[in-house]
């Protein structure tokens, strides 16, 4: 039997558009002779629909869309992820389910058993867990059905399991007949390092139970999350025999008679992780704009690496005709920075404007002079410059129907090296989950064939240029040190004592952690950012703003 693995890029709540995409793909699967097509988790609504699931009208429209799909589909079996109603009189009113139908008949329904409630996931808020793991007979094959998290609880992989039950083990132990094929439909977001973990989990299951496995994942950007697709089929030894593309919609076919299939994966690169992050950010940016109804953006170009990287991602995501770069030199901007910004715009082929802010800045100072009298200049004057720039960008965006892309990186966001209502202004923070060292890696990756980002931008010491001869390292630890401390604290959850034991200076560690704490209020007001690490600022990191916990040393 030929099976189509279909990874779609849904728009949440666009039921008509999502069904149209699915129908088109099903027609293509039939043309290829497939008897079964498999779609991702919550393929009808898109994942995650969040509190839209609490609206009765949303659920009614969802059900009508699925009914229409069932009625208009014939000649092929379809395994589809969707929201179903919990018919019991106790528990959450909904289930996250996989439904198999063929020729306008519902054959089987199986509900997700493990509902994640960590990081960006909050499924127990909406769904009732399934009570048993199901198999279903289709065209002579006994299929074992699981949904995303259900496959992430194997004791051979996880030293501490989050759940009491292992759905895969329970499914195989409870099956009345031999299971021929395991299927996992998913909406599993991308982050650095996750692809290898998934392959290890899948290969372990194949080897452990001597069964082949098919995994079908959602693709596309959804708010801060980016789904990489990368659907695949493995044989019973854990060897990958079919692969869908990463970071784009795709359909691949696996033949269960020969256990051979399509391979649409990209060739491996020496800098694979860096390339993956770049493709993720590009997809996240393009989908955020498209799904929110924007097509054009504006970016403040400082001549530094952060704005250069953001502008390059935007240009490759949206097209050069949709990107406007604006340099806004202050009295402290170096001529080289303006030249670098202009050269970048020329290399990218985007529109470029220069708006000096010295006169506006001086008027601010004149206006505030009576209140500031007798006080020495400090960070206040630096923030005024940043806020002038933010206001100018927002004004142009309003007039021209653009979205402002803010350019701050994760290292700056962590320690508050950013200005509220200034450089934090914007509708999307493209690189807010990209540490500074990774910013440099991405810039070098972009230039691996020819110069796009001026090398002078990459090579010069980073500076906000808001004060005379200012350098970032005047106020912060060197970024190689800062980024290691941040990763240890934010992503690995190490204590200050443990970080110091790694060899970092105690005073530096204490200061970095202090800055993280006191700048929580800034991050709560920051634009939405795209998630690429295991722990990003935003929905998946929920810390109180008002708190007094201090780790003992």
What number of CA atoms fall less than 13 Å from residue 551's CA on the CB side?
16
pLDDT at 550 over 90: no
pTM of the model: 0.95
Q: Which of 156, 154, 177 is nearest to 167 (CA)?
A: 154
Q: SS3 for 395-458, per residue?
A: HHHHHHCCEEEECCCHHHHHHCCCCCCCCCCCCEECCCCCCHHHHHHHHHHHCCCCCCCCHHHH
Radius of gyration of the chain (CA): 26
CATH of segment(s) 2-263: 3.60.110.10
Check 80, 95, 102, 148 and give the catalytic one: 148
Check 41, 128, 149, 412 and give the catalytic one: 41
pLDDT (mean) for 365-392: 95
How many CB atoms within 10 Å of residue 34? 24
pLDDT at 470: 82
User: CA angle, 250 as apex, 246 and 256 as ends, to 5°?
Assistant: 105
Residue-wise pLDDT for 272-311, tens only, equals 999 999 999 999 999 999 999 999 999 999 999 999 999 9
pLDDT at 41 over 90: yes
Question: What is the SS3 assignment for 298?
Answer: strand
pLDDT at 259 over 80: yes
Please confirm, yes or no, whether 41 is among the known catalytic residues: yes
Please report the DSSP string for 94-121 in residue order. Answer: EEEEEEEEETTEEEEEEE-S----STT-
Determine what percent of the chain is predicted with pLDDT higher than 90: 90
Check 2, 112, 296, 410 and give the catalytic one: 112
pLDDT at 62 over 60: yes
Residue-wise pLDDT for 156-191, tens only, equals 888 889 999 999 999 988 887 899 999 999 999 999
Band (7; pLDDT cuts 50, 70, 90):
very high
Measured distance CA(96)–CA(531) in Å, rounded? 24
> 69 Cβ partners below 8 Å, 6+ apart?
19, 22, 23, 44, 78, 80
Please confirm, yes or no, whether 112 is among the known catalytic residues: yes
Residue-wise pLDDT for 68-127, tens only, equals 999 999 999 999 999 999 998 899 999 999 999 999 999 999 999 999 999 999 999 999
Measured distance CA(66)–CA(45) in Å, rounded? 10
pLDDT at 66 over 90: yes
318, 323, 329, 330: CA torsion to nearest 10: -70
Q: Which part of the chain has CATH 3.60.110.10?
A: 2-263
- Which pair of tokens denotes residue 111? 């509900």
Q: Which part of the chain has CATH 3.40.50.620?
A: 273-472+519-524
pLDDT (mean) for 458-483: 88
Torsion sign across C-alpha atoms 219, 220, 223, 226: positive
pLDDT at 156: 84
Please, what is the average pLDDT of the chain? 95
Torsion sign across C-alpha atoms 59, 61, 62, 66: positive
What number of CA atoms fall less than 13 Å from residue 495's CA on the CB side?
7
Measured distance CA(417)–CA(166) in Å, rounded? 45
Measured distance CA(457)–CA(344) in Å, rounded? 9
Q: Which of 220, 248, 217 is nearest to 231 (CA)?
A: 217
273-472+519-524 architecture in CATH?
A: 3-Layer(aba) Sandwich (3.40)
pLDDT at 418: 94
- Which pair of tokens denotes residue 113? 């058993």
In DSSP terms, which residues pair with 217 in a beta bridge?
A: 186
pLDDT at 391: 97
Residue-wise pLDDT for 418-469, tens only, equals 999 999 999 999 999 999 999 999 999 999 999 999 999 999 998 887 888 8
Band (212; pLDDT cuts 50, 70, 90):
very high
pLDDT (mean) for 201-216: 96
pLDDT at 89: 87
369, 342 contact by CB (below 8 A) = no
How many CB atoms within 10 Å of residue 109? 17
pLDDT (mean) for 37-47: 98
pLDDT at 553 over 60: no
The string over 416-443, giving b where at least 16 C-beta atoms fall within 10 Å of a residue's C-beta and e elsewhere, is bbbbbebbbbbbbbbbbbbbbbbbbbbb
């Amino acid at each position: 039997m030929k099976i189509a693995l279909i990874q779609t890029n849904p728009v949440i709540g666009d039921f008509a558009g999502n069904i149209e995409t699915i129908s088109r793909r099903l027609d293509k699967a039939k043309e290829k002779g497939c008897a079964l097509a498999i779609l991702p988790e919550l393929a009808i609504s898109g994942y995650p629909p969040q509190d839209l699931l609490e609206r009765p009208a949303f659920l009614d429209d969802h059900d009508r869309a699925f009914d229409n799909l069932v009625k208009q589909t014939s000649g092929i079996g379809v395994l589809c992820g969707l929201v179903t109603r919990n018919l019991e009189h106790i528990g959450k009113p909904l289930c996250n389910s996989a439904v198999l139908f063929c020729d306008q008949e519902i054959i089987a329904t199986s509900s997700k058993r493990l509902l994640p409630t960590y990081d960006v996931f909050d499924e127990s808020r909406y769904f009732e867990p399934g009570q048993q793991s199901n198999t279903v007979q289709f065209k002579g094959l006994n299929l074992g059905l699981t949904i995303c998290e259900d496959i992430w609880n194997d004791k051979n992989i996880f030293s501490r399991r989050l759940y009491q039950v292992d759905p895969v083990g329970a499914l195989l132990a409870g099956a009345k007949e031999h299971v021929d094929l395991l299927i996992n439909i998913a909406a599993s977001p991308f982050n650095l390092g996750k692809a290898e973990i998934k392959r290890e989990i899948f290969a372990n299951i194949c080897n452990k139970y001597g069964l082949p496995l098919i995994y079908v994942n959602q693709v596309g950007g959804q708010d801060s999350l980016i789904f990489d697709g990368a659907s695949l089929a493995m044989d019973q030894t854990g060897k990958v025999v079919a692969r869908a593309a990463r970071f784009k919609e795709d359909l691949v076919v696996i033949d269960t008679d020969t256990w051979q299939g399509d391979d649409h994966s990209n060739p491996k690169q020496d800098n694979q992780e860096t390339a993956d992050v770049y493709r993720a950010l590009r997809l996240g940016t393009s989908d955020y704009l498209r799904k929110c109804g924007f097509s054009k953006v504006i970016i403040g170009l400082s001549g530094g690496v952060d704005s250069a990287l953001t502008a390059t991602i935007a240009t490759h995501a949206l097209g050069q005709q949709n990107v406007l770069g604006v340099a806004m030199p202050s009295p402290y901007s170096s001529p080289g920075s303006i030249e670098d910004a202009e050269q970048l715009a020329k290399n990218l082929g985007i529109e470029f404007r220069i708006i000096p802010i010295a006169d506006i800045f001086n008027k601010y100072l004149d206006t505030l002079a009576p209140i500031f009298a007798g006080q020495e200049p400090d960070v206040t004057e630096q923030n005024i410059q940043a806020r002038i720039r933010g206001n100018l960008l927002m004004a142009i965006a309003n007039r021209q129907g653009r979205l402002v892309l803010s350019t701050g990186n994760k290292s700056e966001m962590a320690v508050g090296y950013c200005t509220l209502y200034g450089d934090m202004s914007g509708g999307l923070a493209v690189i807010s989950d990209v540490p500074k060292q990774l910013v440099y890696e991405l810039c070098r990756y972009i230039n691996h064939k020819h110069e796009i980002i001026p090398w002078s931008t990459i090579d010069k010491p980073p500076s906000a240029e808001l004060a005379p001869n200012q350098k970032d390292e005047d106020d912060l630890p060197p970024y190689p040190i800062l980024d290691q401390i941040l990763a240890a604290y934010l992503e690995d959850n190490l204590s200050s004592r443990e970080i110091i034991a790694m060899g970092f200076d105690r005073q530096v560690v204490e200061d970095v952690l202090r800055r993280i704490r006191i700048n929580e209020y800034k991050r709560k007001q920051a634009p939405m950012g795209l998630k690429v690490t295991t722990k990003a600022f935003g929905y998946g990191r929920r810390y109180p703003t008002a708190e007094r916990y201090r780790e003992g040393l």
